[in-house]
Amino acid sequence: MTCPPPTATLRPGQLRDPFRLLMDVTARHDGLVRLGRGPLGVYIVSHPDYIRRILVTHSGNYIKGPLMKPFRTALGNGLVTSEGELWKRQRRLMQPAFHVRQLQLMESVIVAAVDRAVDRWAAAAETGRPVDFLDDCIELNVEIVLGALFSTSIDPARAQRLRELTSEVFAGLASKVWTFFLPSWFPLPGVIRYRRAVAALDAEVHALIAERRAAESTPEDLLGLLLDTVDAETGAHMSDQQLRDEIFTLFMSGYETTATGLTWAAYELARHPEIAAKLAAELDGATARPRPTFAELRSLEYGKRVIDEVLRLHPPFPIWFRSTVAADDLGPYHLPANAKIVLNPHMTHRDPAYWSDPETFDPDRFTVGRFGTEQRHAYYPFGKGSRMCIGERMSQTITQVALSAFTGTFEFSVAPGFEVVPQYVVTCQPKGGLPLILRRR
């Protein structure tokens, strides 16, 4: 016999900080709670068994659904937002662009961007003035993702424009995401600005595609690969609209996520200088300066554990969405058809049933012996199942290289008096950035 999940009622005022509200509500229930009543209600899921059913064993019954609607207004039918046969075809076509061989072609782009960031940080260390580490990591990752997508087609002014437009789109999306609590007619601030930013970004991306189609040679970058890709079943190339959607998607999913993870890594290492020193000791002797080569990354086991632990405590996407097609049962609970679901890794990653002392930053919980089947089951910063992140390896590589360069070169602390408060802006970032004071090691 199943029953409806427990329900939490929204109180006026709680919407001022919807992210806090989600976390508070989930903390008081056992892995599944319904928030709100009627058609506006959502089911918030964090129990690892239910997450596995949704993302892996019964994923056919769980589509991205209406909560992804705001994202479709920007990303169209790209890989993150598409469903069914279109998604299957696009994933098949795009997977080769993320293979190890392709990633190796990106080594020079990644290394050059990290070296430039180290130079900027070194200059700041000389002056003693704080750097905005979040902003620097965004700049670093914009450079890398644009380099990987378009190689030489982007000059600094165009990169800056793309970055500004994308942050406006993100800001618009972040406020739109919370409309799942509100009726669709509710007037939202910033809608016109958001639409303008999407239209301008649209024009930029179409121009980049047109320029590349007109060019005589095709560089070995992601755009080149996508342009050359032919569907083995139909013999067709991607249409300009599909290319636009995929490029938008890769750009928007690519830079902010990795930048956010790196920023939380720096925050945790600043709070735990003994862990930063251990990481620097691993780098000493084992790697080239100022940063490791791709070949050296494999030997950085402690560094890898640090990153895994950062993504446990601070998954850059703390929530994302699904919807049921037909009614389904999650454990003892019944979900109707078309139920809107919020997946909540932020809470799963802090569930004391799976993680001892979950609020403590402890990279060694990822050592063999401590990180077993139970913990693997309750860990999914990059998702699970067939729709898992296509950029995981790329992101992990960038993070390892950049974090090694940073920790191997500098000691750092959060600027005195600055309070770090998490804020949901599609990814979860420290509000107001992360001001760090740097000293050369």
Which residues of the shown chain bind ligand HEM in the complex (CB under 6 A)? 79-80, 91, 145, 249-250, 253-254, 257-258, 261, 316-317, 320, 381-383, 387, 389-391, 394-395
Q: How many CB atoms lie within 10 A of CB 241?
A: 12
Q: How far is residue 97's CA from residue 258's CA, in Å, rounded to a whole number? A: 18
Closest to ligand HEM by CB, 381 or 435: 381
Min separation Cβ 1 and ligand HEM, Å = 31
Closest to ligand HEM by CB, 256 or 362: 256
Residues 6+ apart with CB under 8 A from 174: 424, 425, 426
Closest to ligand HEM by CB, 121 or 320: 320
Quick one: CA dihedral 190, 172, 310, 269, positive or negative?
negative
Min separation Cβ 406 and ligand HEM, Å = 16
Min separation Cβ 123 and ligand HEM, Å = 27
Closest to ligand HEM by CB, 8 or 144: 144
Min separation Cβ 136 and ligand HEM, Å = 16
Angle, alpha carbons 316-311-148 (nearest 5°): 60
CB 8 within 8 A of CB 338: no
Residues 6+ apart with CB under 8 A from 355: 312, 349, 365, 375, 378
3-state secondary structure of 425: strand
> Quick one: tokens of 410?
């500098």
Closest to ligand HEM by CB, 172 or 254: 254
Q: Please tell me the chain's helix, strand, coil percentages from 3-state DSSP, rounded to the nearest 5.
A: 55, 10, 30
Closest to ligand HEM by CB, 98 or 354: 98
Q: How far is residue 194's CA from residue 198's CA, in Å, rounded to a whole number? A: 6
Residue facing ligand HEM at closest CB distance = 391
Closest to ligand HEM by CB, 316 or 363: 316
Q: How far is residue 50's CA from residue 297's CA, in Å, rounded to a whole number? A: 35
Cis check for the bond before 290: say yes or no (omega within 30 of 0): yes
Min separation Cβ 170 and ligand HEM, Å = 14
Closest to ligand HEM by CB, 254 or 303: 254
Count of alpha carbons within 13 Å of 356, Cβ hemisphere only? 8
The end-to-end CA distance of the chain, in Å, is 62
**Which residues, listed in sequence order, are joined to residue 320 by a DSSP beta bridge?**
343
Min separation Cβ 250 and ligand HEM, Å = 5
Closest to ligand HEM by CB, 291 or 346: 346
Closest to ligand HEM by CB, 31 or 381: 381
Min separation Cβ 317 and ligand HEM, Å = 5
Min separation Cβ 310 and ligand HEM, Å = 9
Quote the strand ranges of 317-417, DSSP E.
320-324, 328-330, 333-335, 340-343, 410-414
> Quick one: tokens of 157?
């002014």
**Cα–Cα distances in Å, from 56 out to 51, 137, 324, 345?**
8, 32, 14, 15
> Quick one: tokens of 123?
């200059």
Min separation Cβ 60 and ligand HEM, Å = 14
Q: How far is residue 66's CA from residue 70's CA, in Å, rounded to a whole number? A: 8
Min separation Cβ 71 and ligand HEM, Å = 10
